[in-house]
């Protein structure tokens, strides 16, 4: 927990964030979870549990790229620090989590045939503290979102979480999660 708090303080206090705006996203998640005595065994198993959940993310981003001149496409590479909180639950239990991470984004903007579009494709790495025993977990994700003219966005994300469980029996001490999410956001 102290590590996540330290990362959060460093992300928020960074001088490079002075020109950035905060973007809030709210998403619905689906989680396929496998547990076993080792990560290798868990990766070869059929999913043990399916959970649902939600996530609130605060990201600190530069202004979106401008729409380029007609009939052109422009691109830009950017980094966006994130703070996140959420939960995963099934019909018998629920777990809350908090975390911090960073997204590496490839922005594309175009103005072709009278249609303007901005989208970002990204890879994200996140450190998460989850559950009552405050297990540390790592999440890697890939996603994309569309940015609308009013600053709102709609996106999807797929990823994986790896988690050693402190509260589980030895035969279920390692956990792998396949995550899928859709979300909306605004600046």
Residue-wise pLDDT for 30-41, tens only, equals 999 998 888 888
Per-residue model confidence (pLDDT) at position 6: 46
SS3 37: coil
Residues 6+ apart with CB under 8 A from 104: 77, 78, 79, 122, 123, 124
In sequence order, what DSSP letters do the residues of 96-146 get, joined into one string?
EEEEEEEEEEEEEEEEETTEEEEEEEEEEEEEEEETTTTEEEEEEEEEEEE
Let me know: does 139 contact 161? Beta carbons within 8 Å: yes
Residue-wise pLDDT for 87-103, tens only, equals 999 999 999 999 999 99
Cα 44 to Cα 33, 39, 168, distances in angstroms: 12, 9, 19
Range of the domain at 143: 2-186
User: CATH number, domain at 134?
Assistant: 2.40.160.20
Q: How many domains does the chain have?
A: 1
């Amino acid at each position: 927990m102290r590590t996540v708090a330290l990362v959060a303080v460093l992300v928020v206090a960074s001088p490079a964030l002075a020109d950035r705006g905060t973007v809030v996203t709210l998403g619905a998640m689906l989680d396929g979870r496998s547990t076993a005595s080792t990560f290798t065994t868990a990766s070869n198993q059929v999913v043990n549990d399916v959970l649902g959940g939600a996530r609130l993310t605060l990201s600190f981003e530069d202004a979106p790229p401008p729409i380029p001149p007609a009939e052109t496409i422009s691109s830009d590479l950017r980094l966006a620090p994130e703070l996140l909180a959420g939960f995963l639950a099934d019909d018998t239990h629920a777990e809350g989590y908090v975390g911090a991470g960073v997204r590496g984004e490839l922005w594309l903007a175009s103005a072709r045939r009278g249609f303007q579009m901005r989208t970002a494709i990204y890879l994200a790495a996140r450190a998460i503290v989850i559950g009552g025993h405050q297990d540390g977990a790592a999440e890697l994700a890939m996603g994309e979102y569309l940015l609308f003219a009013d600053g709102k966005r709609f996106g999807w994300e797929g990823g994986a979480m790896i988690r050693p469980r402190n509260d589980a029996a030895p035969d279920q001490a390692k956990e792998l999660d396949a995550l899928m999410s859709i979300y909306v956001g605004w600046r």
